[in-house]
Amino acid sequence: MHSRSLLLLLATALGALAGCAPTAMGPMVMRLGPGSPDKNLAQLGVRTGPRLSAPTAGSQQFINESDRFRGDDASFSTQQWGMALDAAITWPLTERLHLHTGLQGEFFLPLPIPGYGLYAGASYYVGSEQLGLAPAVALRGATDFGLNTRGGPGSIFGAEASCAFTLQPEKGVSLGLVPFFSWQGMASHGQTDTAVYYGGVVAARFTWGWLDNVELSGGFGRAKIHEGASWNVPIMGVRGGR
């Protein structure tokens, strides 16, 4: 029985390793309002985005027909769209300049296996406490370590520019419109290519109970691979933090 249990555990672990290729989140940085000049903000939640390696991975001859890349015909297909756990920390450097760092893990069973990513960026707030904008830039890299995952294997590295237009109608409530544009280099099945991912989200941040902020976001994006494949990307996210 003990050996059977070990085999079952091993099979479960191997099944988990057949998880998901990295999800390309966007916008990576969302600064909704001036923020605190003397307190770090830690956030944890789930966000969605495209798997940029999907067109390459889904065109291989050995891929099942149901797993092939289908573009706009299947915008919610987990072969080309995914959910990722997002842990982020905002570090105020000055009252206006903030540093943003984050760690991503694919949402699977529900462990973050095996696609992982890191990102870092900076934002600069211009305006008053009630109304302003915050342009931001960020760098990000992610990989599933070459494993034959859903939508992969895939590794990506890229840069993003965004700008949050924000409004604070009352204390503890922030609303924002955040357009973004990112360029990505990627590798899958020994092939390399480039992609762009762009779009925008509407976001809201508010205080709820013991959480200093709860952040909701939703919008729409478009992913386009240099070789021609492109598809619509629904964007959703929820994060909470203190």
- The pLDDT tens digits of the residues spanning 115-173 come to 889 999 999 999 999 999 999 999 999 999 888 888 889 999 999 999 999 999 998 89
- The span from the CA of 87 to the CA of 81, in Å, is 19
pLDDT value for 67: 64
pLDDT score at 17? 42
| pLDDT, position 111 | 57
45 vs 57, more confident = 45
pLDDT tens per residue across span 69-121: 888 998 998 889 999 999 999 999 999 999 999 999 887 655 556 788 999 99
Alpha carbon distance 33, 168 (integer Å)? 7
Return the exposure string of 202-229: e unless at least 16 CB atoms fall within 10 Å of the residue's CB, then b: ebebbeeeeebbbbbbebebebbbeeeb
pLDDT, residue 64, reads 63
**What local confidence, expressed as pLDDT, does residue 9 receive?**
45
Q: What share of the chain is helix, strand, coil (3-state, %, to 5)?
A: 10, 55, 30
Pick the CATH number of 20-241 from 1.20.140, 2.40.128, 2.60.120, 3.90.1310: 2.40.128
Residue 59: half-sphere exposure toward Cβ, Cα within 13 Å: 11
pLDDT tens digits, 209-240: 888 889 999 999 999 998 788 999 999 999 99
| Integer Cα distance of 123 and 32 in angstroms | 11
pLDDT of residue 2: 47
At 30, list the tokens: 């969302």
**Which strand (E) or helix (H) includes residue 217?**
strand 211-225
